[in-house]
């Protein structure tokens, strides 16, 4: 397997079909707002303003009646498609839609709809790493805390070494054809995976790890929105002072 062609375009694939039950809200978490925009709009703003990202595929729930109401526009193309029952199914359908539009010679940058704080410098690093590794690359944060394994009665069973352990984030960036094949296998064999990189790993490939800032948080629980807004404001102020 050779390294990715540096001329291949990069498209973002954003699974946004989840309901976000942990948020304890009637509104899907990607449509919660801060600073006058939904989380999904902030996410798209951040991705589509990056010079290497050519467009985006947004994967929506079949019952979504909010996306069109947003009236979101960009100078870059945005394609929408309908997701499936699980995140894997939604990412797969997004990739199929992207393949139908662009063919196989494209790089898929899969990013959570509720991670609106990824910075351009990190996007540049993970895209560069993916172009240089045929198995792609992901953003991740090294584990700093001591990790405990629990018994059923909530006592400590053991302590894990945190050496060489990382928390996987997104974006996760792969050749479109590779990720499609990997997710097709996951779906056909009903494998249980927790991220796209694991699907690629299950085929014997080794994606690269790229260190990310912990600010690239995933908004999942009550209280996360206000915390994300503070980070967003800090990032804006930092850009204004540069």
How many whole angstroms separate alpha carbon 241 and alpha carbon 236? 9
17-55 confidence digits (pLDDT tens)? 976 555 556 789 999 999 999 999 999 999 999 999 999
Domains in the chain: ranges and CATH: 10-124+170-205+215-241 (3.90.550.10)
How many whole angstroms separate alpha carbon 58 and alpha carbon 56? 6
For residues 141 and 212, the answer to whether their CB atoms sit within 8 Å is: yes
Position 7 confidence tier, pLDDT thresholds 50, 70, 90: confident
pLDDT above 80 (res 181):
yes
Position 194 confidence tier, pLDDT thresholds 50, 70, 90: very high
Q: What is the pLDDT of residue 18?
A: 76
Specify the DSSP element, H or E, that contains 37: strand 37-38
Diameter of the chain measured on Cα atoms: 55
Tokens of 173: 């960036």
Shortest CA distance to 127 belongs to which of 8, 43, 40? Answer: 8
C-alpha angle 186/191/193, rounded to 5°? Answer: 90
For residues 210 and 129, the answer to whether their CB atoms sit within 8 Å is: yes
HEC-encoded secondary structure of 130-157: HHCCCCCEEEEEECCCCEEEECCCCCEE
């Amino acid at each position: 397997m050779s390294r990715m062609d540096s001329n291949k375009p990069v498209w973002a694939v954003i699974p946004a079909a989840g309901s976000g039950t942990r948020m304890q809200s009637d509104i899907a978490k990607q449509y919660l707002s801060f600073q006058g925009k939904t989380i999904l709009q902030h996410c798209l703003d951040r991705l589509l303003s990056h010079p290497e990202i050519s467009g985006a595929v947004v994967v929506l729930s079949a019952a979504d009646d909010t996306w069109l109401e947003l009236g979101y526009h960009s100078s870059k193309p945005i394609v929408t498609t309908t997701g499936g029952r699980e995140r894997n199914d939604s990412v797969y359908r997004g990739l199929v839609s992207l393949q139908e539009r662009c063919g196989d010679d494209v790089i898929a940058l899969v990013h959570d709809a509720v991670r609106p704080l990824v910075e351009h410098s990190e996007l540049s690093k993970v895209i560069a790493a993916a172009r240089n590794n045929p198995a792609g690359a992901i953003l991740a944060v090294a584990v700093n805390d001591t990790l405990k394994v629990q018994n059923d009665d909530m006592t400590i069973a053991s302590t894990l070494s945190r050496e060489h352990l990382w928390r996987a984030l997104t974006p996760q960036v792969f050749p479109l054809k590779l990720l499609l094949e990997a997710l097709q296998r996951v779906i056909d064999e009903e494998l249980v995976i927790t991220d796209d990189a694991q699907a690629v790993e299950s085929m014997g490939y080794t994606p690269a790890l790229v260190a990310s800032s912990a600010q690239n948080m995933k908004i999942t629980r009550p209280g996360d929105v206000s915390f994300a807004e503070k980070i967003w404001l800090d990032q804006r102020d930092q850009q204004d002072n540069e």
